[in-house]
Amino acid sequence: MWLDKRYHSLDYEMKSQYGQKLYKLALDGGFTCPNRDGTLDTRGCIFCSAGGSGDFAADRKLTITEQIEQAKTKLSEKQTGSLFIAYFQAYTGTYAPVEYLRSVYEEAISRPDIAILSIATRPDCLSREVLDLLEELNAVKPVWIELGLQTIHPQTAEYIRRGYPLSVFDQAVAALTARGIEVIVHVILGLPGESADDMLATVRYIVQMPISGIKFQLLHVLKGTDLYRNYQKHLFQVLSMEKYTDILIRCIELLPPRIVIHRLTGDGPRPILVAPEWSLHKKYVLNYIHHSLKARDTWQGKFDCTISQNENFSFEL
Ligand code: SF4
């Protein structure tokens, strides 16, 4: 039962569904992004590195098959299972002509070792044709769409140059879930100008929607970004590990137990990570979060904000 960790982790969910841990293979489908190619902007989101948030993805010069093989080779020492998630991580994973999208997605899911197709994208890059394709592929193997919302607050969205309003996100979630496609939402904790209450408001908003997963991301300051320039000018501060953990746990408490937590912090690419430095110690940070959940005697759903107070989920070891 996931209760031993006090939250509904992706590992738990995959072991329940597939009897094994499923590793994500980070792929680069050769896409760009409307926030970079001049359609909306050329600068990208304020925190986005030159790699288009795909700094861990394989080399885009390789075919998808070659990328999958390379990513599996990198994992081979620690991986124990035989099934994987093909994760189109770099840039905007649905931003290309539909026939091209079909070719790269099908190249991935036609392999017996790929159990799930996961695509990171923007909610404003889901045309009817793309939705039709995703629905078709979802009938073959599960398709997850990961939407980089980051925040519900318009002022912050403007600051980070997200480039679409909240209503577009709402429509995308409705369109995807109506077609039976699972939606995972990315939320960044620690965005400049946001209080803990602002971050909690974002979580309260999205859990009212039919999403199936959430990825929490600590705000990273990466070299070469406009966020880095603002950081150098001391225009904002990054969160300490203690503060991040406190806010994260308060977010976890609000989540209904059904929502799968895909990530608790996220990795910053070491060569370009400027701050927070503590996030480089991933194992230590995860241990600290797990220990804090226990020390605070709390768990996912303790204050599930989708149900009334007296129905809140109870936890027993
Ligand atoms: S939408 Fe994604 S890939 Fe595009 S600029 Fe923003 S973070 Fe980078």
Q: Is the CB of 122 under 6 A from ligand 1?
A: yes
Domain 2-220+257-267 has CATH 3.20.20.70: yes
In tens, the pLDDT along 176-232 reads: 999 999 999 999 999 999 999 999 999 999 999 999 999 999 999 999 999 999 999
Cβ of 35 below 6 Å from ligand 1: yes
Tally of CB atoms within 10 A around 277 = 11
**Residue 45 Cα, ligand 1 centroid: separation in angstroms?**
5
Question: Cβ(36) to ligand 1 under 6 A?
Answer: yes
Helix ranges (DSSP H) in the chain: 10-18, 64-75, 98-109, 128-138, 154-159, 166-178, 196-206, 226-232, 241-254, 282-295
**C-beta 92 within 6 A of ligand 1:** yes
Cα(218)–Cα(245) distance, rounded to whole angstroms?
10
> Is this model's pTM higher than 0.85 or not?
yes
Mean pLDDT, all residues of the chain: 93
> What does the pLDDT read at residue 75?
84
Given a contact cutoff of 8 angstroms between Cβ atoms, the answer to whether 239 and 218 are in contact is yes
Ligand 1 centroid to Cα of residue 53, in Å, is 6
Q: Please tell me the distance from the alpha carbon of residue 104 to that of residue 144, in angstroms, as a whole number.
A: 15
Q: CA 176, CA 142: separation in Å to the nearest integer? A: 13
Collect all residues with Cβ–Cβ distance below 8 Å to 227 and sequence separation of at least 6: 46, 47, 192, 219, 221
Domain positions in the chain: 2-220+257-267
- Residue 317 binned pLDDT confidence (cut-offs 50, 70, 90): very low
CB 125 near ligand 1, within 6 Å: no
Tens-digit pLDDT profile for residues 46-67: 999 876 666 667 788 999 999 9
